[in-house]
Amino acid sequence: MAAPTTIEKKKKVSSNYIPDDLSFSILSKLPVKSLKRFSCVSKSWSLLIQNPNFMNFFRNNLLSKSHAHYRDSGLVLNQFMGPYDWNIYLISGDKFENKVKLDLPPIFQIPNIGVTPIRVLGSAINGILCIYGRCQGAHATTFLLWNPFTEEKIVIPPSHAEFKPEFTTYIFPHGFGYDDVGDDYKIIQHVDYTTANENPLEDLEDVMIPDPFWEIYSLKSNSWRKIDFDMPIISWIFNSIVYFDGVCHWLGETNMVVSFQLCNEVYFITPCPFEEDTHDKEFEVNLTVLNESVAIITNCKNTTSFQVLILGEFGVEESWIRLFDVELMSCIEQPIGAGKNGNIFFIKEDGELACFDLATGLIEDIGIQGENNWCQIAIYKKNLRLIGDIYM
């Protein structure tokens, strides 16, 4: 066989060559996980993340993608103003002009509930909220699955946690989500104990404190089950828990995101790409889902800026991408989550809730006041399916 000619060699080389503008356009449309992986193909591709023009295209494509998850959806807002003063709203409209205050289930209405406010656990899933709080006279935390649209309510039975005078019991909810493989709603929590003695050095030998443990609630069996795991526990219960696509995520104690898959009960740990201590009162870290990607929003209190970082692949620290550095005109007290189409919600220094649109740079006031560290926001989509259909 004759050796290839010079012209044939050039044709072969040119056929494998991808013009820079074409690769630029293709790569800017990829999800974060794929972009990070393809950056290993060549040096020029690895430098794209440092290219401001490319990152602008990438951000715009991320924000402009249409997601079926967000279609015909609104927002649910858990507002806290002080002891015995909290409300849950359904919000819709381009300027959040439609606000419907929900009537809380009787078990969570005053005087049944104590001064501890109710919380929404993680995200609103298939039109269902998992709300919890400490009711008057009850030792354990009360969980309730609630579909505001159908007004269906299911009270979750007590867990395996023990309550005795000689020790104090702590229940830390870590996630609520939907197992699409088993068609089941699940709650995951951690139970821990400490001595209740005022003097911890006195009579410790006579106090038998149970070991801490993890447990999962299954709606299908309507029961709790202990699981043998040694996962990092949550670092800060406020705005540190989200759910998306069968996985519960929470911020762990030592600057990490823990991702727990509900169908097979496997978890991943992804270190966060910053050195600041999440326990620092001046440094805020909020976990959220931004346009179907797990993200963290970071900021220092009483500043005018915040940052948004997107996680590309569970368990891979290098897959984080810092996508947005936002500078505002007024001080941010605390981000509280993300909505549709790249909307970031936060509490301003005057206590007003506002929304910043990452695509347009515009700020809209919600028209509702909020208390720092307590307000929550999540995407809500109405669903007519009865919760009880799963286990009936």
Indicate if 158 and 46 belong to the same structural domain.
Answer: no
- Point out which residues pair with 294 in neighbouring strands: 289
Q: What are the tokens at 47?
A: 């430098």
Instruction: Give a yes or no: residue 317 inside a domain.
Output: yes
Residue 104 above 90 pLDDT? no
Q: End of a domain among 64, 92, 119?
A: 64
Q: What is the average pLDDT score of the chain? A: 83
Indicate if 59 and 171 belong to the same structural domain.
Answer: no
Least confident of 11-15, 143-147, 161-165, 210-214: 11-15
Q: Rounded CA gap, 104 and 82, in Å?
A: 17
Residue 227 above 60 pLDDT? yes
In this predicted model, what pLDDT tens digit does every residue of 380-392 receive, in sequence order? 988 888 887 876 5
Residue 367 above 60 pLDDT? yes
Indicate if 58 and 174 belong to the same structural domain.
Answer: no
Q: End of a domain among 13, 45, 64?
A: 64
Q: What is the mean pLDDT of residues 172-188?
A: 95
Indicate if 39 and 149 belong to the same structural domain.
Answer: no
Residue that the structure tokens 């309730």 belong to: 144
pLDDT tier, 217 (very low <50, low <70, confident <90, very high otherwise) = very high
Residue 14 above 90 pLDDT? no
Instruction: Give a yes or no: residue 6 inside a domain.
Output: no
Q: What is the pLDDT of residue 391?
A: 64
Longest dimension (CA), the chain: 93
Q: What is the pLDDT of residue 114?
A: 59
Read off φ and ψ for residue 99, nearest 5 degrees: -125, 125
Q: What is the mean pLDDT of residues 37-49?
A: 71
Instruction: Give a yes or no: residue 151 inside a domain.
Output: yes
Q: What is the pLDDT of residue 57?
A: 82
Q: What is the mean pLDDT of residues 86-91?
A: 88
Indicate if 78 and 60 belong to the same structural domain.
Answer: no
Q: Contact at 8 Å (CB) between 318 and 327?
A: no
| Residue-range definition of the domain harbouring residue 57 | 21-64
Task: Please list the alpha-helical segments (H only) found in the chain.
Answer: 6-16, 20-27, 32-38, 43-46, 52-64
Q: What is the pLDDT of residue 266?
A: 94
CATH number at residue 208: 2.120.10.80
Model pTM score: 0.86
Residue 313 above 80 pLDDT? yes
Percent of the residues in the chain that have a pLDDT greater than 90, as a whole number: 33
Instruction: Give a yes or no: residue 237 inside a domain.
Output: yes
Indicate if 56 and 92 belong to the same structural domain.
Answer: no
Indicate if 104 and 33 belong to the same structural domain.
Answer: no
Q: Rounded CA gap, 266 and 259, in Å?
A: 8
Q: End of a domain among 39, 64, 89?
A: 64
- Point out which residues pair with 38 in neighbouring strands: none
Indicate if 262 and 380 belong to the same structural domain.
Answer: yes
Indicate if 370 and 320 belong to the same structural domain.
Answer: yes
Least confident of 157-161, 199-203, 334-338: 199-203
Read off φ and ψ for residue 177, nearest 5 degrees: -160, 180
Residue that the structure tokens 């984080």 belong to: 320
Residue 162 above 80 pLDDT? yes
Instruction: Give a yes or no: residue 202 inside a domain.
Output: yes
Indicate if 26 and 114 belong to the same structural domain.
Answer: no
Residue 208 above 70 pLDDT? yes
In this predicted model, what pLDDT tens digit does every residue of 277-296 receive, in sequence order? 555 667 788 899 988 889 99
Instruction: Give a yes or no: residue 9 inside a domain.
Output: no
Indicate if 48 and 155 belong to the same structural domain.
Answer: no
pLDDT tier, 93 (very low <50, low <70, confident <90, very high otherwise) = confident
Quote the number of domains for the chain. 2
In this predicted model, what pLDDT tens digit does every residue of 240-274 receive, in sequence order? 899 999 999 999 988 899 999 999 999 999 999 87
Indicate if 58 and 104 belong to the same structural domain.
Answer: no
Instruction: Give a yes or no: residue 5 inside a domain.
Output: no
